[in-house]
Amino acid sequence: MKSKSFCVLIGIISLLFISSCTNSQNKSGEPEKTDTMAQTEVVNPDTVTSVDTTGQPMDKPKQELSKVLIYNFHVTNRCVSCIAIEEATTKTLKTYFAAELRQGRIKQYILNVDDDANSKVAEKYQAFGSGLYVTRIFKGKETTTDLTGDGFKFAKNKEEKFIEILKNKISEYLK
């Protein structure tokens, strides 16, 4: 009795082994892909490559892209220069970075520092009046440039110069 059940067990194991060694094929003669192992990771010390069940490379994951945050701070009673900075900033974004705005890679925030709801972000940037800050976020790291001085110097009377400065900084941060 023991030998009969042992032989049946060996037979089942043999069948499983044989069936796992042969490729099932579809009508086109190509190996079938199964959902259970649609993607596996092959680890190489230098790179990590995604491959499908046939061992063919799959598209690499998208490279992480940087994001740019534009903070326009102002007080309740705004001066002409402060308004000009906001208008020139908005014009720059709509003219040169409309696609990035739609994609969410660039976001503009116009914040009143007198509003308690904005106190934490104003404190972070040490904005207690008008200010323009461009922040790049890439791989969790933030880099900020204060363009307040350039805004007050150029936005009202030399708008194109200010737009060029802002455009260059944003382009640099999007790389």
* pLDDT score, position 63: 73
Please give the tally of structural domains in the chain: 1
110 in any annotated domain? yes
Partners of 72 in the β-ladder: 110, 132
- Lowest average pLDDT, out of 26-35, 56-65, 103-112, 150-159, goes to 26-35
Q: Please report whether residue 52 resides in a domain.
A: no
Residue by residue, DSSP assigns 157-171 as T-HHHHHHHHHHHHH
Tell me the mean pLDDT in the region 113-137.
Answer: 96
Tell me the average pLDDT across 70-87.
Answer: 96
pLDDT at 64: 86
Task: Assign residue 78 the CATH number of its domain.
Answer: 3.40.30.10
Whether residue 40 is predicted with pLDDT greater than 70 in this model: the reply is no
On whether residue 93 sits in a domain, the answer given is yes
Asked if residue 38 belongs to a domain, the reply is no
Domain that holds residue 168: 67-174
Cα–Cα distance, 91 to 162 (Å, whole number): 11
Model confidence at 12, pLDDT cuts 50, 70, 90, reads low
Is 125 part of any domain? Answer: yes
18-22-26-31 Cα dihedral, nearest 10 degrees = 150
Q: What is the mean pLDDT of residues 148-163?
A: 97
- 116 falls within a domain: yes
